[in-house]
Amino acid sequence: MTREMEPPPKPTTSLFDVYLRLRPTFSPGAERFLDVEDGGRSAPTHITIRPPTNDHRKRAIERFAFTQVFEEEAAQLDLFKGTGLPGIIEGVLGQPGREGRDGLLATLGVTGSGKSHTILGSKAQRGLTQLSLDTLYQSIGQRITSLAENDSTFPSLCQADVSEAQLFPASAFLESLYGDGALPDRAASRAATPMMDVSFMSASANPKRYIPRLSNLPQYPAIEDITASADQSAEYAVVISMYEVYNDRIFDLLTASATKGAAAKRRTLLFKSTEQSPDKKVVAGLKKVVCSSLDEALLVLETGLTERRVAGTGSNAVSSRSHGFICVEVKKRHRGAVLGPWTSSSLTIVDLAGSERARTAKTAGATLAEAGKINESLMYLGQCMQMQSDNAENLSKPQNVVPFRQCKLTELLFSNSFPSAHHNHHNRKPPQKAIMIVTADPLGDYNATSQILRYSALAREVTVPRVPSVTQTILSATAASKGLASGRTTPSATQEELERALAELARLREQMEVMQLQLSDEISRRRQAEASWKAAEDRMEEAEAEIRDEVWEEMERRLAEEQRRWRAARDEEAERNEVHMDAKLEILTRGIGAGEVEVYEDPAQTGEEMIAELEGENERLRLRLEEVERERGLRSPSKKMRVLKTRKWEGIEMDE
């Protein structure tokens, strides 16, 4: 025995309650390797698996404990009630005046073990998703908000969303996709549906597109007798979004890439904190549809499921190659004279991809890589669950940190189980309530099933196979020889000693076998740890390269911006200088103009003034001349002559 078995486990602090569901088998003649232990008056909780008889590796018989085991004959409704889903829905609806608690339901199992059947149902039966939606709408009843009644309801819902999502009323969403064909009769609400841009599905009403019809959807089982109590003082809105995680990337399932052909490039969404949600990571940028009735919700669900089938690899007619997420957000606000703010809790339903052994899956190339990614994410999930069961077994010891940030899948599944440490105490929501349903075919693939059971079970116990061992063979041979050899009996002391020695040998051999099992267990755990170490290193390198690129881009952007800023400043400075120079020049020019008037220009003279001035000058000159003549006449003989000449000149002048 390697581990002490806990009494029927009902973990309260663990990440998940884990249920096992066995599927009815359709392989006549196959060997059954799994047995359910009778639980007495309560439901069974333990199973045993034994290796096939042709197993040459002499592996141990293993015993596993679950919260509850559902056997082959369990119906969908048994699962719905037995796993406590109505209680989880009640938690999501929230107590009066209180915010609801998030819920999570996931299925895990080998390909073909019945995960999709459990969660989504079949043509004839509804799955846990449809049953949950039915219970939800039935419980909300008349308290569902009407988008038609109040014009401000839809915008207020959009405003309250913190995930950068685009919200659409279901009527607009479905009508843009299918036209009127598949829609439930919503004449009243359609008339008043807020008008909006529905170009997101402009390839609408493609006649070849599969149109879901409510009449084709299963009605069985009915859940009339099940309701969860809702907050009587509140009004509710139900918002549905769907996405899948494929190769560790997130894709929206309500974006109609399927209408645009298989080659259409799908946009990857990020799981991140947003401006409005700095403390909690959310899938950002999803399309979300506000569904006012169960019919609308079922049609939106069918739309997303079709997208998942069509947009996948094409090889998944039978097997889901991605982890599918259905997110039902329940928004609630106080209804009264003053409407309260919307609060939000969600029920997330996850259909995990089937794990496959690369050896048995006849796949190659991309599909093999994809199988690798699926197995890798399931391995990380296994590590988280393993940690959960280790923690549950060692409650007195310091609890291990669950390594849920290793891949998108575990981050999406567990981040609400560990609310951010930044949340203040008053705002802190209780951690989500989560259920894992492990599905198994008791006549299916022993290796793949035992691998999943090993990491998903809440407790495990290993015993050595009770097949005839070498020791037993020797012992029985000894006993036989004792009976046969009549008359020649071995001395009894020797016989007893031999038997004691053989018994000791048998004990040691058993111990050795247990230790061998423990060793192989440890080896496989070490290999897993090494693989995740290596993957973490790769991711670190990738992240480092991404950060380096980002930093480089940021630096270039800032440099360019700085250059732009610098150039703009320089141009501005140059312009300012030019204006300054112009202004100076103008002042100078004006200054120079004013100087000419004062310094160089004579005051303007009239004609008379000029004549008067000239006559005065003339007079002055004549007087000067006479004076000079007089002086000369007194001194020379030609004086007379010159006087005469002057008189003659005066005479002419006077005649003129």
Ligand X SMILES: Nc1ncnc2c1ncn2[C@@H]1O[C@H](COP(=O)(O)OP(=O)(O)OP(=O)(O)O)[C@@H](O)[C@H]1O
Q: Are strands 459-463 and 61-65 parallel, antiparallel or unpaired?
A: antiparallel
Which tokens is 528 given? 């897993």
Nearer to ligand X, 93 or 245 (CB): 245
Give which of 316, 446, 447 is closest to 27, Cα–Cα: 446
Closer to ligand X at the Cβ: 145 or 355? Answer: 355
Check if the beta carbon of residue 308 is closer than 8 Å to that of residue 324: yes
* Angle ∠(538,541,547) on CA atoms, nearest 5: 140
- Identity of residue 338: V
As measured in angstroms, the least distance from the Cβ of 271 to ligand X is 23
Identify the residue whose tokens are 């930044």. Answer: 422
Six-digit token string for 564: 């732009």
Cβ proximity to ligand X: between 31 and 72 the closer is: 72
Q: Cα–Cα distance between 296 and 601 in angstroms, integer? A: 98
Burial class (CB in 10 A: 0-12, 13-18, 19+), 243: buried
Nearer to ligand X, 103 or 354 (CB): 354
With respect to ligand X, which residue has the nearer C-beta, 111 or 189? 111
Alpha-helical (H) ranges within 268-346 are 294-311
Minimum distance from residue 112 beta carbon to ligand X (Å): 5
Residue among 354 and 442 whose Cβ is closer to ligand X: 354
Residue 38 CB, nearest approach to ligand X (Å): 21
Q: Which letter, b or e, does each residue of 358-370 get, where b requires 16 or more Cβ atoms within 10 Å of its Cβ?
A: eeebebeeebeeb
Q: Of 78 and 499, which CB lies nearer to ligand X in the complex structure?
A: 78
Tokens of 409: 């899948």
Tell me how far, at minimum, the Cβ of 317 lies from ligand X, in Å. 10
Least separation in angstroms between CB 325 and ligand X? 15
Q: Can you give the binding site for ligand X, defined by CB under 6 A?
A: 23-24, 109, 111-117, 122, 318-320, 354, 439
Closer to ligand X by CB, 100 or 127: give it: 127
Question: CA–CA separation, 73 vs 463, rounded Å?
Answer: 29
CB of 137 to ligand X, least distance (A): 25
- Least separation in angstroms between residue 378's CB and ligand X is 11
434 residue type, one letter: A
Backbone angles phi, psi at 489, to 5 degrees: -75, 140
Look-up: residue for tokens 């940028």?
285
β 103-109/343-351 pair status: parallel
103 by DSSP, 3-state: which?
A: strand
Whether 456 and 438 have beta carbons less than 8 Å apart is answered as yes
Which is nearer to ligand X, 167 or 371 (by Cβ)?
371
Is the CB of 169 or the CB of 312 nearer to ligand X? 312
Shortest gap between Cβ of 71 and ligand X (angstroms)?
A: 10
Q: How many CB atoms lie within 10 A of CB 293?
A: 15
Q: Which of 243, 288, 233 is nearest to 268 (CA)?
A: 243
Shorter beta-carbon distance to ligand X: residue 26 or 600: 26
Nearer to ligand X, 116 or 345 (CB): 116
CA distances from 598 to 71, 476, 593 (A): 120, 145, 9
Min separation Cβ 445 and ligand X, Å = 12
Amino acid occupying residue 264? A
- CB of 468 vs ligand X, minimal distance in Å: 37
3-state secondary structure of 452: helix
- Distance of closest approach, residue 117 Cβ to ligand X, in angstroms: 3
Give the whole-angstrom CA distance, residue 455 versus residue 461: 12
Cβ 66 to ligand X shortest distance, Å: 16
C-alpha distance across the termini of the chain, in Å = 159
Question: Which amino acid would we find at residue 254?
Answer: L
Backbone torsions φ then ψ of 177, nearest 5 degrees:
-85, -50
